[in-house]
Amino acid sequence: MERKKKKSAEGGTIDVIGIMDRIPHRYPMLLIDRVVDMVKAESCTGIKNVTANEPFFQGHFPTRPIMPGVLIIEAMAQTAATLVVDSLEGVDAATHIVYFMTIDNARFRRPVVPGDQLHIKVKKERHRGNVWKFRGEAFVDDALCAEATYTAMLVPDSERAIVNDN
């Protein structure tokens, strides 16, 4: 039985299954566990529960595990992609994919370590056609850990759509 993909309610929550309905990422590259405070086509907050079992901690760094900054930026992008896909009718992980175009002004302010809960706040700065620009900030408690501005493009995934139609 196929699960009906539903869009989130304004201000609502999307669980990890709903995130996987919207973006193609899977473990170990799915870097958000939940999306909350959804304001359609405008903003939301991604939640990442950082655990000692994350595969990247084996090498970054074994005696002092720190979440790599590039993965925090990737979590921002996944949060924004979930927002974009959730905001548009007829769009989901089977029909479209969101690609990075640019990453600007990335700053890393504080290490993220096992046991932290990362709150990734994304806000749309601009949207024209299939191109979206976001500002992302990642917090642990009230401490800013990372920030960046980035642009992404929503692209039909026609190859996958053809495979799924058969």
Q: Which runs of consecutive H residues, i.e. helices, occur in 23-118?
A: 69-87
Find how far residue 90's CA is from the centre of its chain: 19
Return the bridge partners of 108, or none.
Answer: 146
User: 35-39, long-range: CB within 8 Å, 24+ apart, which pairs?
Assistant: 35/8, 35/79, 35/82, 35/83, 35/86, 36/12, 37/11, 38/8, 38/9, 38/10, 38/11, 38/12, 38/13, 38/14, 38/83, 38/86, 39/10, 39/11
Known active-site residue 127? no
Catalytic-role residue among 25, 60, 96, 127: 60
CA–CA separation, 114 vs 95, rounded Å? 35
Q: Would you call 17 exposed, middle or buried from its count of C-beta atoms within 10 A (0-12, 13-18, 19+)?
A: exposed
Q: Which residues are catalytic?
A: 60
